[in-house]
């Protein structure tokens, strides 16, 4: 049967490799076209690869936790043009193969060793017309025993490592290994701190108009559109306006060169149910109306939390917003999402007793206030720009028209 190389497909311009999470089929298994073969993960998102052909999974070229390059072959399949009819061999369900004969002795050995018909099909035969001889199947079994022995050794050494960990544990402690996504997040955070000279500026903004606007129309808006009206759409709109005013925030650094971005792609740092983090991206955020932003933000966050984002939907961001207020935090010092040069954290909205300036004089009243925390890369952004940008966003929030219609 002809062989087919299963290639790790491209998943976006900035993704060069992916980790194998787990195989859903074993070597020797029959696979139908579009059956899911393997789960993979990039530093952006998890995904699945389906079989493009009918056939038998002959060999896995990568195993769980191993990293494969985009475009490389991760498995070999033996293709089958048509699905074969089912029959039984030595009491086992198999599929007929009219092109190959197996002697009773070979079938008996296969049955005794638990070798399926599909696995039998993968054994190279040296007999007449490619038949599998007793020597062929015994050689195959011996080879597998050697491989199994190696796997057992790996398990043994893994257990020894775990036992060493247990020896270091106290009665009131537990060693919990980081999952794959947590390891990637940890590496990215450390890389960012090593690359960028982080500075954070803080600005307080009066968002009373924004809050009143939402309270006034949120119920009717959801009834009419089916969309939940959140304030993130307003924050994104104000950030986009500020970027247009101060475009040197929308840059990246390449050695001694500054790369100015023509497009405004806003990343939204999103907490997942398991506590990890992902950043879906609103591409060309400046092209959306406020209503359009509401719809795309709801969609991206919903699919992010259910692990349904496409790889390209987490790539290409030029500026990131993190809603730390959703955790009840007032302000913080967010870490820049490389290769960007700035990130803004939106704090918790609080009611505060405030001095209100009017033409008739100062008054005291209750206002809704929020802190904006703006971290920026001091290699290329100084306080005038970094702090000025945060103030610009605050001014747009304070000038928001509470009679705005969507």
Residue 268 belongs to a domain: yes
Residue 173 belongs to a domain: no
Q: Does residue 212 share a domain with residue 137? A: no
* pLDDT tens profile 4-62: 899 988 876 667 888 888 898 888 888 888 888 898 887 767 788 888 888 899 899 99
Q: Does residue 228 share a domain with residue 91? A: no
Structural domain including 267 reads: 182-398
* pLDDT tens profile 287-342: 999 999 999 999 999 999 888 888 889 999 999 999 999 999 999 999 999 999 99
Which residues, other chains included, contact 353 with Cβ-Cβ below 8 Å and sequence gap of 6+? 364, 365, 366
The Cα 282–Cα 54 span in angstroms is 38
Q: Number of structural domains, the chain?
A: 2
Query: Which DSSP helix (H) or strand (E) runs through 352?
Result: strand 350-358
The Cα 65–Cα 17 span in angstroms is 12
| Predicted pLDDT of residue 164 | 54
Tokens representing 21 are: 């999470």
- Catalytic residue ranges: 378, 382
The Cα 315–Cα 267 span in angstroms is 9
Q: Does residue 240 share a domain with residue 105? A: no
Residue 326 belongs to a domain: yes
Residue 171 belongs to a domain: no
Higher-pLDDT residue of 119, 352:
352
Q: Does residue 216 share a domain with residue 120? A: no
Q: Return the C-alpha torsion angle 205, 391, 236, 244, nearest 10.
A: 150
Q: Does residue 72 share a domain with residue 33? A: yes
Residue 266 belongs to a domain: yes
pTM greater than the 0.75 cutoff: no
* pLDDT tens profile 220-234: 999 999 999 999 999
The Cα 30–Cα 83 span in angstroms is 10
Residue 166 belongs to a domain: no
Indicate the range of 55-69, 86-100, 219-233, 260-274 predicted with least confidence: 86-100
Q: Does residue 187 share a domain with residue 123? A: no
């Amino acid at each position: 049967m002809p062989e087919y190389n299963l290639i790790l497909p491209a998943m976006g311009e900035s993704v060069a490799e992916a980790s194998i999470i787990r195989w859903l089929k074993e070597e020797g298994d029959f696979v139908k076209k579009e059956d899911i073969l393997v789960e993979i993960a990039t530093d952006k998102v998890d995904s699945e690869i389906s079989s493009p052909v009918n056939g038998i999974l002959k060999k896995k070229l990568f195993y769980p936790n191993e990293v494969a390059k985009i475009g490389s072959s991760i498995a070999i399949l033996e293709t089958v043009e048509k699905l074969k009819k089912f029959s039984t061999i030595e009491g086992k369900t198999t599929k007929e193969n009219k092109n190959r004969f197996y002697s009773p002795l070979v079938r008996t050995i296969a049955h005794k060793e638990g070798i399926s018909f599909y696995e039998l099909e993968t054994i190279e035969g040296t007999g007449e017309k490619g038949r599998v001889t007793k020597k062929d199947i015994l050689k195959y079994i011996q080879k597998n025993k050697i491989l199994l022995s190696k796997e057992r050794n790996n398990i043994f050494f893994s257990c020894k490592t775990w036992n060493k960990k247990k020896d270091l544990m106290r009665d009131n402690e537990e060693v919990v290994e980081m999952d794959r996504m947590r390891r990637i997040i940890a590496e990215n955070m450390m890389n960012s701190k090593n690359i960028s000279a982080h500075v954070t500026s803080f600005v307080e903004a009066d968002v009373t108009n924004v809050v009143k606007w939402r309270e006034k129309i949120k119920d009717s808006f959801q009834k009419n559109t089916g969309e939940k009206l959140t304030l993130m759409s307003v924050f994104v709109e104000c950030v986009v306006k500020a970027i247009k005013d101060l475009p040197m925030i929308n840059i990246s650094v390449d050695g001694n060169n500054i790369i100015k971005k023509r497009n405004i792609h806003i990343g939204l740092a999103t907490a997942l149910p398991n506590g990890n983090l992902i950043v879906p991206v609103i591409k060309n955020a400046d092209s959306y109306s406020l209503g359009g932003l509401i719809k795309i933000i709801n969609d991206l966050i919903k699919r992010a939390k259910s692990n349904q984002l496409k790889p390209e939907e987490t790539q290409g961001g030029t500026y990131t917003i993190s809603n730390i207020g959703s955790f009840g935090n007032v302000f913080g010092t967010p870490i820049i999402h490389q290769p960007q040069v700035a990130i803004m954290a939106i704090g918790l909205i609080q009611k505060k007793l405030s001095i209100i300036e009017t033409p008739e004089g100062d008054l005291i009243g209750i206002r809704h206030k929020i802190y904006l925390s703006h971290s920026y890369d001091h290699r290329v952004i100084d306080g005038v720009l970094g702090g000025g940008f945060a103030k610009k966003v605050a001014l747009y929030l304070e000038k928001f028209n509470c009679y705005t219609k969507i």
